[in-house]
Amino acid sequence: MSTSTGTRQRPAAVSQQSFGSKVGGWFGRNAIRIYAALAFTYLFIPVAYTLVFSFNNSGRSNYSWQGFTLDKWKNPCGAPDVCPALVTSLKVGVLATIVATVLGTMIAFALARHRFRGRTATNLTIFLPMATPEVVMGASLLALFLNLKINLGFNTIVIAHVMFCISFVVVTVKARIASLDPRLEQAAMDLYADEMQTFRRITLPLVAPGILAGALLAFSLSFDDFIITNFNSGTVNTFPKFVYVSSLRGIPAQANVIASAMFFIALFAVLVAQLVSGRRRAR
């Protein structure tokens, strides 16, 4: 009896062990996919919430679902002050991006191509705005503007945004410059091209993807910044400030419409950039 019982239990133990090993092996093979799916779900839940509630047939408060409607998409400026705040954020973002991209690109070329006294200190200074908490930077800039008796407003917002956007442009463009093959520029000069022609026809086209990436990053950081803007904006209202103030009484669905539209525009720009780069690699 004991021999037959042990014989019966052994296949069951073997089957349980094989089932556990199969499950463990499946999780081991698909662990990265599972983690990626969880991470993307976590990231896109707020985006999905914003998109869904942009179709909400709500009044002043947009916290509970009242029904489906397209009226908010047909009239995104229906809520008071939402479009003027958006226009202000776009103006600040464009100006800050242009200035930060030009200055950041020149600084990146200087750091990547030249050796000069204070280069190490300059590298450290460039990284400081990226490592400094926004509260500290916003309060420091506010104290600077007050000491210089500069009125807070549109101009101070642009100056503050340029201050922290330059660092991201420098890092992005500098990484692109470091990846260039110097033999391409040397070959152009061997073919009797002067420095300006080499820069315009060889260097700049090769660095252009890094400059564009830095500009897009600077614009996105400027557009959605709230902390530094709140310190240095005075009475000027940007879109992030509008959303924060509106949250006290209920964010209107039009704000969700604008946020969803900006997300899809950014997604379209990324897809176009990927398609263009893919075609260039194929060539």
DSSP-assigned beta bridge partners for residue 56? 68
Q: Which residues contact 281 (CB under 8 A, 6 or more apart)?
A: none
What are 190-216's pLDDT values in tens digits? 777 777 888 888 888 889 888 998 999
pLDDT category, 11, cuts 50, 70, 90? low
Looking at residues 260-269, what average pLDDT do you find?
87
**CATH code at 80-251:** 1.10.3720.10
Asked if residues 105 and 210 have their Cβ atoms less than 8 Å apart, the reply is: no
* Structural domain boundaries in the chain: 2-43, 80-251
d(CA 68, CA 70): 7
Question: Could you tell me the sign of the dihedral formed by the alpha carbons of 191, 195, 196, 201, in that order?
Answer: positive
Spatial separation of the C-alpha atoms in residues 141 and 139, rounded to whole Å? 6
Task: Give percent of the chain above pLDDT 90.
Answer: 34
* Residues 176, 131 contacting (CB under 8 angstroms): no
Q: Is the pTM of this model over 0.85?
A: no
Classify residue 238 by its DSSP letter.
-
Q: What amino acid occupies position 146?
A: L
| CA-based nearest residue to 48, from 260, 222, 214 | 260
20-69: per-residue pLDDT in tens?
677 677 777 788 888 899 998 998 898 898 888 888 887 767 777 888 88
